[in-house]
Each structure stands twice: as structure tokens, then as C-alpha cells.
Amino acid sequence: MSMKTILVPMEHHEGMRSVLESTLLLARRFGSYIEGFPLRFGISEFVAVDPAGSIPLESYRQESLEEAAQSRRLFEDFMREQGVPHAAGTGAGLSFGWIDDAPEGEGFVGSYGRVFDITVLSRPDSNTIGLHNRAIESGLFESGKPILLAPPKAQKQIATNIMIHWNCSTEQARTTAFAMPLIEKAERVTVLTVIGGQAVPGPSSEQLLNQLLRNGIDAKPMSVGLEGRSTGEAILAAAQSQGCDLLVKGAYTQSRLRQMIFGGATSHILSNAELPVIMAH
């Protein structure tokens, strides 16, 4: 197993530089093909709030096309600056390509992501628009594949020191399986248990450690208590204390609605992670 194909939805915000740098770090590990496309609002989402002063639909279409062209320039300029060649056919090796006719709307992230090993997006912040948040959910719930959330500032390396948050869940088991190509290459792997944190009934962290060991991965256990923190806060603090450069975290063991109302580890990590995070549902 490896991560030979990487999908990158391109937008216009400060975090895109980190997305591209994080993508390239990952791609260099496997000699991957990187494909970009412009993430844009669907025309159906265009609503004229004030008919007298609204932007004509044709003007909106033109603006959308211009933003797509800017996204392409940003993507291709970065790849050329970094010495990544344009893909020639479907041959192996580090390379990039661009989709000219990607449909509008976030749904394409989830549908097209099914034929890629991983999709890379920036983690949301206070300035993130709804389209980006919906694209993350589309990737998580519709692609059947993992996503990599890039932090606001890219790190110099990725997946050399990995933390797996084990909460016994199906979502975490699936995410750990998706991340195995990176876990197998890592210099250090830690399996974290948050005592008193959000978890479900299931196999213990010791049982996961045994499974990893049988796959040739000598992971180390780590346990932390909440100490007045949320589960998400405890996870990120543990990853920081160990100097980790990748967190492997199952997404939405609790429902999205419950996390929106009461909070949850996924919601906290989505908003606050300062290291790359691989997530899957």
C-alpha cells in the first residue's frame, strides 16, 4: 500500500501555501501524482439578496472563471518552483496535473476523491467560508478515503513521528488502516489513550499495539488524563509534547449534530490543530 495519488482542491486563502507544501512533503515520500482543481461555489448557490443592486449572474460566472484561472496559476507555479514535472500520461513518479472542467460545488471533492488515495485540504479557521467546511465533510463522508488537514503553517517534515489516538471506534480503526503506508515508514509511532475521554466500547490500545507489532511496527503506548481539558485539547497537547508531525484521528465518532451542539474531539481538532492530521469517517 502507498499514497500514490493525491487530490488538492484549490481555493484563494492564506492557508493554500501550507496545503501545497504539506502535499508535496507527502508526495515526495511516495513519488506521488498530485492533481489540482478549483473549488468553487455552485451557480445554484448564487442568490441575489437585493435584486436592484445584485451582481448579474453572468458577472458572477465570469468572476468564478477568473478565480479558477488564478487557482490554476497558483497551483502550477508552485509545482514548477519546486521542480515537480507535469504528468505525462499515467506513468509513475512524482508529477502533477490539473482538471480544467471540474464541476462547481463541494460535492466533487467527495465523488472524485474516491479514485485518489488521499485528499488534502487546509484545516478551517475563523475566516473559513462555508464552502470549505462543506468540502471537508464531503471528503470525509462521501469519498470513502482519508483526508489530510494541513495546518496554518506547514512543517518541515511529515509523518516521521506519528501519534494515533485510539478511542476503540470503527472510525479510528479505518483511519489507522488508511494511514498504514505512513505508519510503516515512520521513525516513531505513539498510540495515545485519553483516560476519561470520549471513547466507545472496543479493543484496547494494548490490542492495537499487538496488531501493529505483528505488522513490524514497534509503537509505544501513552496515556493522559483530561485534567480539566476536553478530549480534543488533551489529544493536541499530547501530540505537541511528543513533537509529533502527524496525528491520525478518526472523524466524528459522535454525530456531527451532537458535536455542533456539545462539542467533540473532531470539532476541536478541526479548529485548532497546528500539525497535519489524517482523518477518515
If you write DSSP's letter for every residue of 150-180 in order, what string do you get? EPSS--S--SSEEEEE--S-HHHHHHHHHTH
Residue 244: Cβ within 10 Å count? 25
CATH 3.90.1150.10 fits 161-280, yes or no: no
Looking at residue 56, its pLDDT comes to 63
Residue 107: Cβ within 10 Å count? 14
Looking at residue 261, its pLDDT comes to 40
In the three-class reduction of DSSP (H, G, I as helix; E, B as strand; rest coil), residue 70 is classed as helix
pLDDT, averaged per 10 consecutive residues of the chain (281 residues), comes to 92 89 97 96 57 60 84 96 90 91 94 98 82 93 97 96 97 97 98 95 97 98 97 97 98 60 76 97 92
Looking at residue 48, its pLDDT comes to 45
Task: Give the integer Cα–Cα distance in Å for 63 and 188.
Answer: 47
Task: Give the integer Cα–Cα distance in Å for 122 and 152.
Answer: 7
Question: Which CA distances in Å does 198 have to 57, 67, 141, 165, 262?
Answer: 47, 41, 21, 11, 12
Looking at residue 49, its pLDDT comes to 46
Looking at residue 90, its pLDDT comes to 73
Compute φ and ψ for 248, nearest 5 degrees: -110, 115
Torsion of CA 271, 273, 274, 278, to 10 degrees: -120
List pLDDT tens digits, range 25-48: 999 999 999 999 999 987 655 454
Compute φ and ψ for 65, nearest 5 degrees: -65, -40
Alpha-carbon Rg of the chain, whole angstroms? 19
The class level of CATH for 5-150 reads alpha beta
Sign of CA dihedral 115, 116, 118, 124: negative
Map out the domains of the chain as residue ranges. Answer: 5-150, 161-280
CB burial of residue 16 (10 Å; 0-12, 13-18, 19+): buried
